[in-house]
């Protein structure tokens, strides 16, 4: 499979990364090189194989329902690039 | 012997015997950092005053007779570990102003063990790279030089700053993280020992995520024993990480002193990849001979899916990364670039904040997860990952550990292997399989290349059997008797 | 033939499926120890995990899992012993991680069924496709600041159950009945408070229309409908819209729409048209969720009796009508109230009193069972006074009104006001004789065949005894004296 320029633009949009038109062709080449490389995986017969989705093979521990976190709005907001009082602030969204 | 040239074990003994103080030891390292960092760029942020404060506390602990093996030991902390009140960047511009209000579990445990933090070590941006050239804070220079050359070499990556700091005697040890080889490959490039423990051995809490199913913290130091000491403090169950294993931490230091007599060591045929340099092949042969001489049994094994490790890795890791890095959106922390509206703000912030390699991986990861491609790429890759795990499981029915080279070459020059991303990715060919299987693996310095650069061998073990990995690594270390030192180091080269 | 909408080209059938988002009742959030309590100062109930800080990891709350299992059991659904969490990736200012942790491929609960009852008394089964656990997002507010939107993450990470129905619903009435039924079950189970005004339960409504016998046509999803009434209106409005689109030769486009209650219509959410590609993949920070069978069995054995079951039991045990039983099991509190009134008493009479005078009094005084001046014990005592003939039914109504007014126990009121029923045969005989003597003409008319006058004589006697005459005795003696 190989990516066309439109797909590169669509992916950039999905990933919320602004890409200038000039960069599209470069990215297209680089991404296609990577995709070309991973194409060799098609050689492998994976019939009936269960995918491995995690690094650890065990069941999940469950946490007791206790409130022991939060209640520190200043720490939560301390790194915010922009805030309005006790809220995070972003450019106005028109719905 | 210079204070900066001690091993952790030696320094610990001298501290315990009150031959030296932690403040002296830290001051010596602060001075080394001040002298060498402007050239090597191993640290993004240095914290000399903070280090001295910790050293004073350590001296008090030693005086009170409550010292442990890491009390007063100066370390470099990869800038991927969140440290409370100390800027943490992941070597990304997008986190330039970020000061975590919390501490990672691993660094909290090291602090609790009395270790001293000299600063935050440079790395490839978000740990994505094998040469430390993707850092948003400039590349790290490898303190090693080729014979008769002053050309700048890369220290490997992503834990390149950690590696350079320890190799150049700016720190006695360092924390690293390893996703596809990020501890082992730089350790190999800088003549250090470094272990990626079993996935789940060290908590990931507070470590900035690259690829969650692969990331593991581990130590880098100048000896296997030093790694064992650090690993003991870094390991352990953490209820804040759902993938953390509820297992007791063994005595790793004792394990590093075990004999390898009677151990069965696997040599995987498939690692004799096309075009393996004769130098690397010869080193590997030496490693085999050293282990055989020490009473280990050498067994030929097969890991048939080895060649698919890299392509699997370059689907799985970017996929997870594309999602893990979505949180850098300029809303709650980090740098923002203003835009006309919310989406424009996101796009400008992420375009300006992320470097080229990070963007590439986010794009690839986004693509392989996108509608219509998930099955062909991501799902298929995870199935082959399962086959790779099965390869290891079957192999470990027959052997106790596996010996391979760590990297296909010695350190290369800054600016080399940059033609296209895939050439760079090939660096990880030997380290990625253990990462995908989640098994522990260590690189130990085993010799020098013809050009005088360090080369490492890799020892891969069974899940949660770091002890055997350490024992085999120490056996190689003893036999190799690696005493070479880099050209650039505190106190000058010998 | 079921519910149909008449268009210019004939009858259309509505097809509806619902996704109900129900906020789980728990102390802390699904993946963090921050409080799940509603409200609070902005960004107070927020941990670094909820705010998606670098290096933060989710750890699942056992109680949220238990609540999902309880709900699944309440929906008579299959509980999956192994389920998984996935990431649903999209960017929004109130979604801190840039992904929502949800269950896509392997939900905790599989297929189930709920029974709904319609106005005409008929019962219909609506299939449940699945139930899964997921995190809520934070809240964006666009009217708090002149040039900015502001974000509060207090809700971010609170556990939600998404309950997905099969497209089995065929009318606005069924849609409403289904939402009410789900809410009733959740409230019985104590897994969600069902408060649609506060947003702790909201529905995404999938609507399509088709000619009878056709395959499904394109559907539209109406997001975040927050009352039963609006669900019903939205179904109707959207179906009408789609019919006119089809009938004018157009094509319904699959899209997300919003219901505007003020205008009674749905409109396209153009701002969200930017096509979503959620890129689901297994959440690598979590492991498979494996349920312990013994733990599940314990949850099951501690499950409360559910409304359908309780209703059938009420009919069997108390001999009341299916309809009355339905009214009495509407919620757990009413059912408990009824049972404590009915216990050891005339259960049918108890049903009449609870669903009649008692409910009317609650309505009139604007009180609830919890705040009502009449307790179950008081109403029970009133029934006892009727049962042992201390008072008759008519006087009981007066006593009840006094109970509502004063909050006093009925026995005390009867004593205080001297309302005991007269059962003294001699006194009643005297009263009857007096009435007959005072109305000789009426007696003559009665005797000449005007039977209806019998009631007149009884009424006069009751009046003479200030209503306290035992009605049976009065009847008997009037009959005897009239010969």
Q: What structural domains does chain B harbor? A: 1-494 (3.90.1300.10)
Q: Is A17 within the bounds of a domain?
A: yes
- Please list, in sequence order, all residues whose beta carbon lies within 8 angstroms of the beta carbon of residue C222, skipping any fewer than 6 positions away: C204, C205, C206, C207, C234, C238, C256, C257, C258, C259, C266
Q: What is the CATH number of the domain that holds A31?
A: 1.10.20
Let me know if residue A53 belongs to a domain: no
Q: How far is B323 from chain C (nearest CA, A)?
A: 7
* Pair C109, C78: CB distance under 8 Å: yes
Q: Which two tokens stand for residue B482?
A: 């690696």
- Determine whether B66 is an active site residue: no
Catalytic pick among B104, B182, B188, B449? B182
CA C387 to CA C383: how far, in whole Å?
A: 6
Q: What is the mean pLDDT of chain B?
A: 96
Closest by CA position to C142, among listed B410, A94, B10: A94
pLDDT tens string C431-474: 999 999 999 999 999 988 888 889 999 999 988 888 888 888 88
Cα dist. B124→A8, B186, B431, C442 in Å? 24, 11, 17, 111
Q: Tell me whether residues C150 and A88 touch, CB distance under 8 A.
A: yes
Test the B interface: residue of C54, C86, C137, C151 with most B CBs within 10 Å: C54
Given C91, C151, C284, which is nearest B320 (Cβ)? C284
Residues B109-165 pLDDT 10s:
999 999 999 999 999 999 999 999 999 999 999 999 999 999 999 999 999 999 999
Q: Which of B213, B350, B425 sits opposite A16 (nearest CB)?
A: B350
d(CA B135, nearest CA chain C) in Å: 18
Q: What is the spatial distance between Cα B212 and Cα A60, in angstroms, rounded to a whole number? A: 16
Assign domain C425-482 one CATH number from 3.40.718.10, 3.40.190.10, 1.10.10.410, 3.40.640.10. 1.10.10.410
Q: Residues in chain B with pLDDT < 70?
A: 274, 492-494
Q: Where in chain C is the domain with CATH 1.10.10.410?
A: 425-482
* Residue C271 neighbours by CB distance under 10 Å: 10
pLDDT tens per residue, chain C (483 residues)? 589 999 999 999 999 999 999 999 999 999 999 999 999 999 999 999 999 999 999 999 999 999 999 999 999 999 999 999 999 999 999 999 999 999 999 999 999 999 999 999 999 999 999 999 999 999 999 999 999 999 999 999 999 999 999 999 999 999 999 999 999 999 999 999 999 988 999 999 999 999 999 999 999 999 999 999 999 999 999 999 999 999 999 999 999 999 999 999 999 986 554 568 999 999 999 999 999 999 999 999 999 999 999 999 999 999 999 999 999 999 999 999 999 999 999 999 999 999 999 999 999 999 999 999 999 999 999 999 999 989 988 889 999 999 999 999 999 999 998 888 887 888 889 999 999 999 999 999 998 888 888 999 999 998 888 888 888 888 889 988 887
| Closest chain C C-alpha to B339 CA, distance in angstroms | 12
Q: From chain C, pick out residues whose CB is under 8 angstroms from the CB of B81.
A: 55
User: Which residues of chain A neighbour C150 with C-beta distances below 8 Å?
Assistant: 84-85, 87-90
The one catalytic residue in B78, B145, B196, B485 is B78
Q: Give the residue from chain C lying closest to A57, CA to CA.
A: C287
Of C28, C142, C279, the CB nearest to A93: C142
Give the one of A61, A76, A90 whose C-beta lies nearest to C149's C-beta.
Answer: A90
From chain A, the residues in CB contact with C84 under 8 A are 53
Q: What is the pLDDT of residue C417?
A: 87
Q: Is residue A59 part of a domain?
A: no
Helix %, strand %, coil % for chain C, to 5? 40, 20, 40
Q: Please count the residue pairs, one from chain B and one from chain C, whose beta carbons lie less than 8 angstroms apart.
A: 102
Q: In this prediction, what percent of chain C has a pLDDT beyond 90?
A: 86
Q: What residue of A is the nearest CA neighbor of B367? A: A11
Does any CB of chain C come closer than 8 Å to the CB of residue A61? Answer: yes
At residue B424, the pLDDT reads 81
d(C-alpha B118, C-alpha B121), whole Å: 9
Contacts of C97 in chain B (CB under 8 A): 326-327
Cβ distance C153 to A71 less than 8 Å, yes or no, reads no
Give the count of domains, chain A.
Answer: 1
C-alpha to C-alpha distance for C104 and B181, rounded to whole angstroms: 32
Residue A18's domain comprises 5-42
Q: How many CA atoms, within 13 angstroms, populate the side-chain half-sphere of residue A1?
A: 16
Task: Say whether B312 and A16 touch across the interface (CB within 8 A).
Answer: no
A67–C282 C-beta distance less than 8 A? no
Give residues 14 to 73 of A whose Cβ lies within 8 Å of B: 14-19, 27, 30-31, 33-35, 37-42, 44, 46, 49-58, 60-61, 63, 72
């Amino acid at each position: 499979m190989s990516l066309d320029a439109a797909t590169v633009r669509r992916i950039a949009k999905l990933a919320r990364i602004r890409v200038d038109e000039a960069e599209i062709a470069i990215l297209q080449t680089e991404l296609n090189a990577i995709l070309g490389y991973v194409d060799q995986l098609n050689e492998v017969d994976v019939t009936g194989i269960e995918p491995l989705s995690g690094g650890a093979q065990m069941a999940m521990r469950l946490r007791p329902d206790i409130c022991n976190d939060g209640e520190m709005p200043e720490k939560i907001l301390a790194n915010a690039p922009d805030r309005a009082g006790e809220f995070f602030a972003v450019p106005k969204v028109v719905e | 012997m210079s204070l900066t040239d001690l091993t952790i074990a030696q320094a610990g003994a001298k501290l315990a015997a009150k031959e030296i103080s932690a403040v002296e030891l830290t001051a010596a390292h602060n001075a080394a950092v001040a002298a060498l960092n402007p050239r090597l760029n191993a640290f993004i942020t240095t914290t000399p005053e903070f280090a001295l404060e910790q050293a004073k506390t350590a001296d008090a602990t030693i005086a009170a007779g409550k010292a442990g093996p890491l009390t007063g030991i100066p370390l470099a902390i990869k800038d991927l570990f969140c440290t409370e009140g100390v800027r943490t960047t992941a070597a990304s511009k997008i986190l330039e102003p970020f000061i975590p209000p919390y501490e990672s579990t691993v660094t909290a445990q090291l602090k609790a063990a009395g270790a001293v933090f000299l600063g935050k070590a440079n790395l490839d941006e978000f740990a994505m790279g094998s040469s430390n050239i993707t850092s948003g804070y400039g590349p790290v220079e490898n303190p090693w030089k080729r014979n008769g050359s002053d050309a700048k070499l890369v220290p490997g990556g992503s834990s390149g700053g950690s590696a350079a700091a320890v190799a150049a005697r700016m720190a006695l040890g360092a924390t690293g993280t390893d996703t596809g080889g990020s501890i082992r490959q730089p350790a190999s490039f800088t003549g250090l020992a470094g272990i990626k423990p079993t996935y789940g051995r060290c908590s990931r809490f507070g470590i900035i995520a690259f690829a969650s199913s692969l990331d593991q913290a581990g130590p880098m130091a100048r000896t296997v024993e030093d790694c064992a000491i650090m690993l003991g403090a870094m390991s352990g169950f953490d209820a804040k990480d759902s993938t953390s294993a509820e297992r007791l931490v063994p005595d790793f230091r004792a394990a590093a002193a075990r004999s390898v007599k009677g151990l069965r060591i696997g040599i995987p045929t498939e690692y004799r990849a096309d075009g393996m340099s004769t130098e690397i092949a010869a080193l590997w042969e030496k490693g085999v001979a050293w282990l055989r001489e020490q009473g280990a049994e050498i067994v030929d094994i097969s890991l048939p899916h080895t060649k698919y490790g890299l392509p699997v890795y370059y689907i799985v890791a970017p996929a997870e990364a594309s999602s893990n890095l979505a949180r850098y959106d300029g809303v709650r922390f980090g740098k923002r670039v203003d835009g006309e509206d919310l989406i424009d703000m996101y796009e400008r912030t992420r375009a300006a904040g992320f470097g080229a390699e990070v963007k590439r991986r986010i794009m690839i990861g986004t693509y392989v997860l996108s509608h219509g491609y998930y099955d062909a790429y991501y799902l298929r890759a995870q199935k082959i990952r399962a086959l790779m795990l099965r390869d290891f499981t079957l192999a470990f029915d027959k052997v106790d550990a596996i010996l391979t080279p760590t990297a296909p070459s010695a350190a290369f020059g800054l600016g080399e292997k940059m033609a296209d991303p895939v050439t760079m990715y090939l660096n990880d060919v030997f380290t990625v399989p253990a990462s995908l299987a989640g098994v522990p693996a260590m690189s130990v310095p085993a010799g020098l290349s013809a050009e005088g650069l360090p080369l490492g061998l890799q020892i891969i073990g069974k899940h949660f059997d770091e002890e055997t990995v350490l024992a085999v690594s120490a056996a190689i270390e003893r036999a190799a008797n690696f005493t070479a030192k880099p050209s650039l180091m505190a106190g000058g080269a010998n | 033939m079921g519910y149909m909408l008449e268009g210019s080209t004939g009858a259309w059938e509505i097809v509806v499926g619902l996704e109900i988002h129900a906020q789980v009742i728990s102390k802390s959030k699904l993946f963090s120890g921050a409080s799940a309590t509603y409200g609070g100062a902005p960004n107070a109930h927020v941990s670094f995990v909820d705010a998606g800080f670098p290096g933060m990891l989710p750890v699942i709350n056992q109680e949220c899992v238990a609540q999902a299992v309880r709900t699944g059991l309440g929906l008579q659904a299959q509980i999956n012993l192994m389920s998984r969490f996935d990431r649903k990736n999209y960017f929004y200012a109130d979604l801190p991680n840039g992904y929502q942790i949800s269950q896509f491929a392997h939900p905790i609960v599989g297929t189930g069924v709920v029974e709904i009852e319609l106005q005409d008394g008929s019962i219909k089964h609506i299939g449940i496709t699945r139930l899964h656990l997921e995190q809520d997002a934070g809240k964006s507010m666009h009217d708090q600041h002149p040039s900015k939107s502001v974000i509060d993450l207090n809700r971010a990470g609170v556990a939600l159950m998404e309950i997905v129905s099969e497209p089995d619903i065929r009318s606005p009435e069924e849609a409403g009945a289904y939402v009410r039924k789900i809410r009733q079950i959740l409230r019985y189970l104590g897994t969600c408070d069902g408060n649609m005004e506060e947003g702790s339960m909201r529905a995404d409504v999938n609507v399509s229309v088709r000619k009878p016998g056709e395959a499904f046509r394109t559907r539209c999803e109406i997001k975040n409908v927050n009352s039963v009434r609006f669900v019903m209106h939205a179904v109707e409005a959207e179906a009408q819209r789609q019919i006119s689109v089809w009938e004018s030769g157009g094509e319904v486009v699959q899209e997300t729409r919003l219901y505007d209650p003020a205008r009674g219509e749905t409109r396209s959410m153009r701002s969200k048209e930017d096509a979503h590609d959620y890129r689901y993949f297994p959440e690598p920070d979590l492991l498979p969720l494996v349920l312990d069978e013994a733990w599940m069995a314990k949850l099951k054995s501690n499950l409360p009796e559910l409304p359908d079951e309780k209703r059938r039991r009420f009919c069997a045990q108390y001999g009341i009508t299916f309809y009355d039983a339905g009214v009495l099991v509407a919620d757990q509190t009413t059912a408990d109230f009824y049972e404590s009134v009915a216990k050891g008493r005339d259960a049918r009479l108890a049903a009449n009193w609870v669903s009649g005078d008692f409910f009317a009094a609650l309505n009139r005084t604007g009180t609830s069972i919890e705040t009502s001046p009449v307790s179950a014990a008081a109403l029970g005592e009133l029934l006892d006074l009727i049962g042992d003939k201390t008072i008759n039914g008519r006087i009981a109504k007066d006593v009840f009104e006094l109970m509502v007014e004063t909050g006093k126990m009925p026995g005390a009121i009867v004593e205080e006001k001297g309302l005991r029923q007269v059962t003294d045969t001699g006194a009643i005989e005297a009263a009857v004789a007096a009435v007959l003597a005072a109305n000789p003409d009426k007696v003559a008319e009665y005797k000449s065949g005007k039977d209806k006058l019998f009631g007149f004589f009884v009424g006069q006697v009751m009046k003479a005894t200030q209503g306290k005459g035992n009605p049976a005795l009065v009847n008997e003696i009037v009959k005897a004296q009239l010969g």
